[in-house]
């Protein structure tokens, strides 16, 4: 079998994944998403072999995975998983449907209605773009004046697809959040520690290994199931009282900044998962 790896940039992750697949006897063909122009038809793509979707662009990943599935390719993660995880409102909704514990959240479509709902719930709250990653534009809103400013920006800037506000309960974390990797099953995790309330490693948080307790592993697996995630990173928020909730799920697992700290062999585990699912 050949595995097709679709990428935006061949980062450390993509190189390590390709190496791990080759070490297991797979041929690996890499495809830049920018060069793919795919007919919208059932016509088979390439040799019909499995596809690892590693595009960094949500737009490209979502369309390409949908198209390739119609063509009969086995895409990891699935188009449904990507479409759900790429949109934080849809992720939250899928988690709510599956009764996974989450911070309360709402979406709204107009400034006054959103600000009124925030005031009713009480500050602080968090608002973030439904499409986005690496902690970009995640904002903590401590009071009504910031809320008005944030909401007017949300609804007066950007295009139609930006005109939805996602507002979430602010969780007072104990200086870190948690990430559990689910590669078929929970395989380990990391704690991301930061002085700042935004704990992305892309924003300078320090990754540490943490021994995932059974309860966190089960919660992450339940969350992954809720979005149809086979190879995902599930982000958990812990309150100072020790209550644990699911914040978001990442469908394109990144590990370049953390693998040396966690020691979790993610490329090998992912390659093993690909091999198992193709049996
Ligand atoms: P991204 O996809 O950009 O990583 P997240 O929703 O994961 O977006 O938010 C980035 C970080 O911001 C989280 O890892 C966490 O540290 C912090 N954060 C996000 N939402 C909340 C929240 N509701 N309460 C507390 N911290 C939050
Ligand atoms: Zn994310
Ligand atoms: Mg995150």
Phi (first) and psi of residue 270, to 5 degrees: -70, -40
Q: What's the whole-model pTM score? A: 0.96
CA–centroid distance, residue 135 to ligand 3 (Å)? 6
Would you write out the chain's pLDDT as a tens digit for each of its 279 residues?
Answer: 799 999 999 999 999 999 999 999 999 999 999 999 999 999 999 999 999 999 999 999 999 999 999 999 999 999 999 999 999 999 999 999 999 999 999 999 999 999 999 999 999 999 999 999 899 999 999 999 999 999 999 999 999 989 999 999 999 999 999 999 999 999 999 999 999 999 998 899 999 989 999 999 999 999 999 999 999 999 999 999 999 999 999 999 999 989 999 999 999 999 999 999 988
Q: Ligand 1 — pocket residues by CB below 6 A? A: 103, 126, 128, 132-136, 138, 168-171, 173, 177, 197-200, 235, 237, 247-248
Tell me the pairing of strands 231-238 and 75-76: unpaired
pLDDT on residue 43: 98
Phi (first) and psi of residue 126, to 5 degrees: -120, 140
Cα atoms in the 13 Å half-sphere on the side-chain side of 37: 1
Residues near 247 by Cβ (< 8 Å), separated by ≥ 6? 102, 103, 171, 177, 235, 236, 237
CA–centroid distance, residue 198 to ligand 1 (Å)? 6
CA–centroid distance, residue 225 to ligand 3 (Å)? 18
Instruction: Name the CA dihedral angle for 20, 21, 25, 26, rounded to a multiple of 10 degrees.
Output: -160
Which residue from 86, 22, 78 is spatially nearest to 52, judged by alpha carbons? 78
| Ion ligand 2 — residues with CB < 5 Å | 133, 248, 250
Q: Which of 102, 135, 246 to probe ligand 1 with, by most ligand atoms within 8 A of CB?
A: 135
- Cα 240 to Cα 125, 172, 215, 243: the distances in Å are 17, 7, 17, 7
DSSP state of 33: G
CA–centroid distance, residue 247 to ligand 1 (Å)? 7
Cβ atoms of 27 and 268 within 8 Å: the answer is no
């Amino acid at each position: 079998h050949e595995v097709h790896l679709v990428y935006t940039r061949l980062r450390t992750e993509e190189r390590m994944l390709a190496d791990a697949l080759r070490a297991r006897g797979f041929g690996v063909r890499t495809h830049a998403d920018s060069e793919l122009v795919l007919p919208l038809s059932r016509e088979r793509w390439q040799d019909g072999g499995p596809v690892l979707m590693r595009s960094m662009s949500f737009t490209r990943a979502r369309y390409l995975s949908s198209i390739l599935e119609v063509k009969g390719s086995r895409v990891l993660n699935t188009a449904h998983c990507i479409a759900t995880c790429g949109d934080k409102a849809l992720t939250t909704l899928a988690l709510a449907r599956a009764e996974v514990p989450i911070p309360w959240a709402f979406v709204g479509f107009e400034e006054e209605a959103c600000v009124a709902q925030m005031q009713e719930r009480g500050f602080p709250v968090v608002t973030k773009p439904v499409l986005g990653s690496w902690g970009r534009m995640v904002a903590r809103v401590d009071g009504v004046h910031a809320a008005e400013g944030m909401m007017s920006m949300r609804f007066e800037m950007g295009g139609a697809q930006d005109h939805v506000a996602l507002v979430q309960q602010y969780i007072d974390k104990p200086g870190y959040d948690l990430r559990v990797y689910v590669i078929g099953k929970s395989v380990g995790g990391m704690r991301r520690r930061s002085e700042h309330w935004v704990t992305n490693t892309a924003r300078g948080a320090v990754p540490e290994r943490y021994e995932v307790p059974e309860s966190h592993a089960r919660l992450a697996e339940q969350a992954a199931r809720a979005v149809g995630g086979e190879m995902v990173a599930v982000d958990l928020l812990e309150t100072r009282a020790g209550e644990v909730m699911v914040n978001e799920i990442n469908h394109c697992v990144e590990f370049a900044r953390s693998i040396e700290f966690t020691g979790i062999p993610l490329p090998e585990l992912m390659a093993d998962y690909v091999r198992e699912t193709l049996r």
